[in-house]
Amino acid sequence: MSATRHRPAVDADELRRRVRDLLDAHPPATTDRLDFLRARFDAGLAWVHYPAGLGGLDAPRALQAVVDAELEAAGAPDNDPRRIGIGLGMAAPTILGFGTDEQRQRLLRPLWTGEEVWCQLFSEPGAGSDLAALATRAVRDGDDWVVDGQKVWTSSAHLARWAILIARTDPDQPKHRGISYFVCDMTDPGVEVRPLRQITGEAEFNEVFLTGVRIPDSRRLGEIGDGWRVAQTTLMNERVAIGGGRVPREGGMIGLVADTWRERPELRTHDLHQRLLRLWVESEAARLAGERLRQQLAVGQPGPEGSAMKLAFARLNQQISALEVELLGEEGLRYDDWTLRRPELVDFTGREAGYRYLRAKGNSIEGGTSEVLLNIIAERVLGLPPEPRTDKDLPWKDLPR
């Protein structure tokens, strides 16, 4: 695909016409779900702001809502975005921004339909919150890169066909340079996925060990040594995906607690009432801020504001789930039998209060720790002086570890 694309005039009426054509050719009631999703992608109605030929029509992003509403009203199947959120929210915009034409053509369609699940090989046990300190190495060997290292906290690794991976390719460079960005085939020899049991007793996360994994150079995204810049696209989209999800008024966790408050008057106290009101107001403010963020996305790229939304999401989830457990008393402490399970989704609203309380603890770690996000907000949103960084210009190989 050419880098210079013709932008057709596509408005809401034209999109509705295209939706009608899709529904006429592939009636949802008689069409296999996967066949319908493939046809929707090929019709450019998957993500309308993407280029023609890659599931889109070069249309304004805001018009996606027109397509979604028409298809929902017709009872059309969706692509289960919660199950494939890493691919949709993180891998896809990075591939679109930095991938080659061949990579986009090969990867985006099965990513969108959910035929191929993605995971993210970023975090490492030795790097902590300082992602740029990563130690996984990729060494060039002919047309391949040979990768050795360990990743951790990897959602969906046990389900994934593909992973977005950052690895150090030049240890003589400072830690933010000398990193390259790859697409890793999780079925390749040398990739080992182990469950990582969490405080909930479940294992939705994983450790991933990479031992002599050969990745063709044709699966590199961006330039050699420019992986940190590529990763910023992924991370900004990740925080928007986590913190900017659309929630109806009094939806999500605050809605569950408010319902319990209304239905169980015997549980009420004045103090709990005041705390519930404060969290309700904060949830509404976060919901409206998320709507504003989505409007920003409709006209450009995600900015550091996504970090603020992700931070608010984590804090509110933890405070609301704690209030719910306190409101329910002993009833709120009940929990499952702690049998190890491998869930595909984090189901905050479909589980018991004890699960929500325990699972919310991870919200301040996953998708960037709250401490890292506070630094981003301070420096990039508020314009405050950056923290002193004595290791910024030192070669990575000389950093103390």
Provide the annotated active-site residues. 238
Q: What is the DSSP annotation of 173-217? A: SBTTSSEEEEEEETTSTTEEEEEE--TTS---EEEEEEEEEEEEG
The burial of 269, by beta-carbon neighbours within 10 Å (0-12 exposed, 13-18 middle, 19 or more buried), is given as exposed
* CA angle in degrees (0–180, nearest 5) for 19-76-109: 75
The burial of 322, by beta-carbon neighbours within 10 Å (0-12 exposed, 13-18 middle, 19 or more buried), is given as middle
Q: What's the Rg (C-alpha) of the chain?
A: 22
Under DSSP, is residue 121 helix (H, G, I), strand (E, B) or coil?
strand
Tokens representing residue 70 in the block: 């028409």
User: Rounded to whole angstroms, what are the CA distances from 167 to 16, 154, 180, 365, 396?
Assistant: 44, 15, 6, 21, 12
Where do we find the tokens 């990582």? 196
Q: What is the DSSP annotation of 330-351? A: GGGG----------SS--SSSS
Q: What is the largest CA-CA distance in the chain?
A: 71
Under DSSP, is residue 352 helix (H, G, I), strand (E, B) or coil?
coil
How far apart are alpha carbons 204 and 196 in whole angstroms? Answer: 7
Tokens representing residue 317 in the block: 């989830």
User: Rounded to whole angstroms, what are the CA distances from 228 to 169, 184, 231, 334?
Assistant: 12, 17, 5, 44
